[in-house]
Amino acid sequence: MNFEKKYGVKILKNVPTGFPSPSLPRIDIWAEIYSSAIGIAVVSYAVTMAMGQIFAKKYKYRLDSNQELLALGLVNVGSAFFPVFPTSCSLSRTLVNEKCGARSQLSGFIAALCILIVIMFIGPLLESLPSCVLAAIVLVVVEPLLRKCTDLPMLWRCSKADLFIWIGTATATLCTDIAPGVAVGISLVILNIAIQSQQATVKILGQVKDNDFRPIDMYDSATETSFRIIHFVGGPVSENCRSFEDVVMDATNIIRKTRSGSIDSQGYTDWTAIILDCTTWTRTDHMGIQAVDEVNKDLRKTQIFPLFVNLKASIRRQYCLAGILEQPDLDEAKLAKEEARILEEEARIQEERRKCSAFKVSMKKYKKRCVVDAMESGEDGNAHVEIKLCYDEKELDKAERDLFDAKKDLALWKKQLAQQNRSKDMVQPVRISQNQFYPSITDAMISANLLVKEQGHFFDIKQSKDGKF
């Protein structure tokens, strides 16, 4: 019909047929295309995952991002030996496939078979097809995706940050290209995460029932307890450690600071406690550990015990490795007793090793004599002679390994004891003690009363000795 010459309509023109011949990739142009290749790889993976997540949500199946990345990588490695486009998810073909009722991976095989038939036989018949026909197909199948714009009012009501990310990414994609749009979207998401991590969420908890505690600003029935309970969401890390310190100090009404910025310990005579609910503390870092250490020191200077509730063992282990936890004093008598036990165990193992070696020698002689007697009597010379060993070598090996570990621990304890003796006359820094950790808020409140009374009693005695009363 000659649409192009008569009406100026663009047509497909040449549709190549047959398979291209394989060839080695051109290494000489890698330096020129690597920047574009990175952008294509990012866009390819982003489009594939986006389409996969849409249909995974619609048809209720799980999507493995690692598997998708591996599949794209393997296919693109194979296609690198042919003059073809990089492999990715086809937006139009995927939507057409879904509209046709495809539900399994067999549809991919059918689609590939159809493309194979077109490439091999039907290609020349499509050369006069107007390009607008393909555009119409794409518009029809993309129409459900365009309806996603109706979600914008919901985003405005629920999450304005997600709305701004959506608008920024869409604007960048429409004004430039897909690759810059994806880069802008990723940058906006990272910026949003950074801003949210610095905006700490803090709740003051009150008691609803005997063992139930809820935020005071959300529950009218929640009443504030005798010791303030602070729920700091996420835990102190480098992004919000400053906010953590300010929140705790504000909650305890500590505003006296010296010119150097440290807490002034004068003027505080009544001991009290503050409870930190660590249920949502999932991670920490160096600056977060320093913030917890500073808060503990500042509160202890003002006669306030910070009590940690539901702190995960992994974070507590990090505190211990960082040296902000108080270590129990080593007992020299216990150390000497352990050293004597190790020496006794070492002597026992050596004696059993000697007996075992002597028993082996006698066993070999006995077995040889039994074999000679059996051959002289005409019996089988290889007759089995079962002899039970008195000492199990495997048990001795295990005992030696345990002894080696015990020696290492003993050497470490001796080193710590030496450091402890050297530091007795030095001023010790205030560290977090073991009685500041509790499994529940109820346990912490019960112990807080005892700690406050006990510490107040010690404080009165100290004041009396100093002559201040």
Per-residue pLDDT averaged across 2-18, rounded?
77
Residue 168 DSSP SS3? helix
Per-residue pLDDT band at 70 (split at 50, 70, 90)? very high
- DSSP annotation of 302 reads T
More confident residue, 138 or 129: 129
The pair of three-digit structure tokens given for residue 313, joined into one six-digit string: 């063992």
Domain 202-322 -> CATH class: alpha beta
The pair of three-digit structure tokens given for residue 251, joined into one six-digit string: 């909650």
The pair of three-digit structure tokens given for residue 268, joined into one six-digit string: 């505080």
* Rounded Cα–Cα distance for residues 155 and 163 (Å): 5
Report whether pLDDT(120) > 60.
Answer: yes
* Rounded Cα–Cα distance for residues 351 and 323 (Å): 42
The pair of three-digit structure tokens given for residue 192, joined into one six-digit string: 């949003």
Report whether pLDDT(304) > 80.
Answer: yes
* Rounded Cα–Cα distance for residues 324 and 382 (Å): 68
pLDDT of residue 223: 87
Per-residue pLDDT averaged across 23-45, rounded?
86
pLDDT of residue 265: 46
Residue 67 Cα distances to 17, 62, 63, 216, 351, angstroms: 32, 11, 8, 46, 59
Largest CA distance in the chain: 117
Per-residue pLDDT band at 277 (split at 50, 70, 90)? very high
pLDDT of residue 168: 92
The predicted-structure confidence for 45-67, as pLDDT tens digits, reads as follows: 888 888 888 888 888 888 888 99
- Please give the full DSSP string across 216-280, using - where no structure is assigned: TTT-TT-B--SSEEEEETT---TTTHHHHHHHHHHHTT---B-TTSPBP-TT--S-EEEEEE-TT
Share of the chain above pLDDT 70, in %: 80
* Rounded Cα–Cα distance for residues 273 and 307 (Å): 7
Helix, strand, coil % in the chain, rounded to nearest 5: 60, 5, 30
Check if the beta carbon of residue 215 is closer than 8 Å to that of residue 203.
yes
Report whether pLDDT(446) > 80.
Answer: yes
Lowest mean pLDDT among 51-55, 77-81, 305-309, 460-464: 460-464
Strand order in the sheet with 304-309: 213-215, 202-207, 228-232, 272-277, 304-309, 437-438
Residues near 40 by Cβ (< 8 Å), separated by ≥ 6? Answer: 86, 179
pLDDT of residue 462: 44
Per-residue pLDDT band at 386 (split at 50, 70, 90)? very low
Q: Where are the domains of the chain?
A: 3-151, 159-198, 202-322, 332-429
Report whether pLDDT(109) > 70.
Answer: yes
Amino acid, res. 205: L
The predicted-structure confidence for 151-188, as pLDDT tens digits, reads as follows: 888 888 888 888 999 899 889 988 988 778 888 988 89
The predicted-structure confidence for 221-254, as pLDDT tens digits, reads as follows: 888 888 889 998 888 888 888 888 888 888 776 5
Residues near 189 by Cβ (< 8 Å), separated by ≥ 6? Answer: 165
The pair of three-digit structure tokens given for residue 134, joined into one six-digit string: 């393909």
Report whether pLDDT(451) > 50.
Answer: yes
Check if the beta carbon of residue 53 is closer than 8 Å to that of residue 94.
no
User: 2-11, 256-265, 292-301, 428-437 — which one is most confidently predicted on average?
Assistant: 292-301
More confident residue, 257 or 172: 172
Report whether pLDDT(463) > 70.
Answer: no
The pTM (predicted TM-score) of the whole model is 0.55
* Rounded Cα–Cα distance for residues 122 and 118 (Å): 4
The pair of three-digit structure tokens given for residue 440, joined into one six-digit string: 């529940």
pLDDT of residue 329: 60
